[in-house]
């Protein structure tokens, strides 16, 4: 077992363990912290698969943006500690996990996994991240334009949804 | 290097855990976290198979998925805030109608 495989298994176990913590914990703040651990593990897997740029994007967007947003939601919807606790149904959760994984593995069993085993990542050469950035922002700029328009629509829509309710509340008072 | 099969297995497990969270939890915030886990499972697969492709299309599509997930999270949080203001709960089993009373 080579070193890179040990690193891979370490991060896989970390991210799957954190995901199980989200499944089984009863405190939503713990779940948010475990989600951060999961996202960091996924970023590490991206680095092992040779896409450093995507790992950085994962850190910035997920850990810096989505997770903070979720924590804001947790704090905003705080009522009292009792509402954070819900009835555990461990058996149902475990059955769902095992059932779906076995079903997917069964579906994938017939596929021939004869992908070539890469001995070095094709993206390991020097300056590949810079080249990737140039390639994306020149040849593939359409994708980024679509995403930009989409994000603008989402921002305006989310602000509109939230502000309408705030206005109604102000009028009601 | 790591065989693609290992990535597929990790991604299957992550997907099933995320689905279990979506199916069994009743708090909206947990459900959102489960959806994020499902997005991440798909991203792992895209990046793992993108290793074989010299034009980086897998990683580009994964980038698209990440931004769409961020947008989804923003809209979902706005809806959660509205629901909490109107109904004073974030329990999915207590939210029964979308129409204003």
pLDDT tens per residue across span A41-91: 999 999 988 888 889 999 999 988 889 989 988 888 877 666 555 666 788
Beta bridge partners of B27: B91
Residue-wise pLDDT for B73-93, tens only, equals 999 988 888 888 888 878 887
**CB-nearest partner of B14 from A15, A76, A86:** A15
Domain membership of residue A152 (yes or no) is yes
The domain total for chain B is: 1
State ipTM: 0.90
Residue-wise pLDDT for A124-169, tens only, equals 677 778 888 888 888 889 988 999 999 999 999 988 888 877 777 7
Assign residue B29 the CATH number of its domain. 1.10.287.3510
Taking the C-alpha atoms of residue A11 and residue A17, their distance in angstroms, rounded to an integer, is 10
Q: Which two tokens stand for residue A56?
A: 């950085």
Domain membership of residue A106 (yes or no) is yes
Domain membership of residue B46 (yes or no) is yes
Tell me: pLDDT of B101 over 80.
no
Tell me the residue range of the domain where B73 lies: 4-87
Same domain, A30 and A83: yes
Same domain, A21 and A92: yes
Beta bridge partners of B91: B27
A129–B contact, CB cutoff 8 A: no
Residue A10 vs residues A6, A19, A27: alpha-carbon distances, Å? 6, 14, 26
Say if residues A57 and B40 touch (Cβ distance below 8 Å): no
Residue-wise pLDDT for B11-70, tens only, equals 999 999 999 999 988 888 899 999 999 999 999 999 988 888 777 788 889 989 999 999
A6–B contact, CB cutoff 8 A: no
Domain membership of residue B76 (yes or no) is yes
C-beta atoms of B71 and A151 within 8 A: yes
Domain membership of residue A131 (yes or no) is no
Q: Which residues of B touch A154 (CB under 8 A)?
A: 71, 74-75
List the single best residue of B5, B12, B17 to mutate versus A (max A Cβ within 10 A).
Answer: B17
> Which conformational region is residue A85 in: left (phi greater than 0), alpha (psi within -120 to 50 degrees), or beta?
beta
**CB-nearest partner of B59 from A5, A42, A54:** A54
- Domain boundary, last residue among A102, A126, A150: A126
Model confidence band, residue A173 (pLDDT cutoffs 50, 70, 90)? low
**What is the reported pLDDT for A39?**
94
Domain membership of residue B41 (yes or no) is yes
Residue-wise pLDDT for A3-28, tens only, equals 888 999 999 999 999 999 999 888 88
Tell me: pLDDT of A117 over 70.
no
The domain total for chain A is: 2
**What is the reported pLDDT for B56?**
78
Domain membership of residue B10 (yes or no) is yes
Assign residue A90 the CATH number of its domain. 1.20.120.1200
Tell me the residue range of the domain where A112 lies: 3-126
**CB neighbourhood size of A91 (10 A):** 9
Domain membership of residue A132 (yes or no) is no
**What is the reported pLDDT for A167?**
75
C-beta atoms of B51 and A121 within 8 A: yes
Q: Which residues of A touch B24 (CB under 8 A)?
A: 23, 89, 92-93, 96
**What is the reported pLDDT for A20?**
93
Domain membership of residue B31 (yes or no) is yes
Same domain, A120 and A96: yes
């Amino acid at each position: 077992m080579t070193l890179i495989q040990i690193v891979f298994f370490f991060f896989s176990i970390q991210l799957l363990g954190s995901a199980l913590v989200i499944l089984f914990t009863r405190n939503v703040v713990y779940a948010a912290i475990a989600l951060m651990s999961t996202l960091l593990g996924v970023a590490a897997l991206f680095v092992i698969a040779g896409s450093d740029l995507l790992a950085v994007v994962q850190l910035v967007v997920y850990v810096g943006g989505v997770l903070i947003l979720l924590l804001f939601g947790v704090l905003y919807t705080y009522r009292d500690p009792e509402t954070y606790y819900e009835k555990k149904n461990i058996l149902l959760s475990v059955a769902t996990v095992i059932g779906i994984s076995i079903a997917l593995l069964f579906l994938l069993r017939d596929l021939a996994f004869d992908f070539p085993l890469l001995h070095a990542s094709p993206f390991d050469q020097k300056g590949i991240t810079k080249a990737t950035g140039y390639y994306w922002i020149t040849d593939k700029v359409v994708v980024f334009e679509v995403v930009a328009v989409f994000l603008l629509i989402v921002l305006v829509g989310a602000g509109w949804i939230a502000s309408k309710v705030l206005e109604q509340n102000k009028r009601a008072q | 290097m790591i065989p693609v099969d290992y990535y597929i297995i990790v991604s299957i497990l992550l997907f099933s855990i995320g689905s279990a969270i979506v199916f069994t939890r009743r708090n909206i915030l947990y459900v959102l976290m489960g959806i994020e886990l499902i997005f991440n499972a798909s991203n792992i697969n895209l990046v793992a198979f993108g290793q074989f492709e010299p034009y980086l299309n897998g990683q580009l599509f994964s980038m698209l998925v990440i931004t769409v997930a961020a947008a989804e999270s923003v809209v979902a949080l706005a809806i959660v805030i509205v629901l909490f203001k109107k109904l004073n709960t974030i329990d999915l089993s207590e939210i029964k109608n979308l129409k204003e009373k």
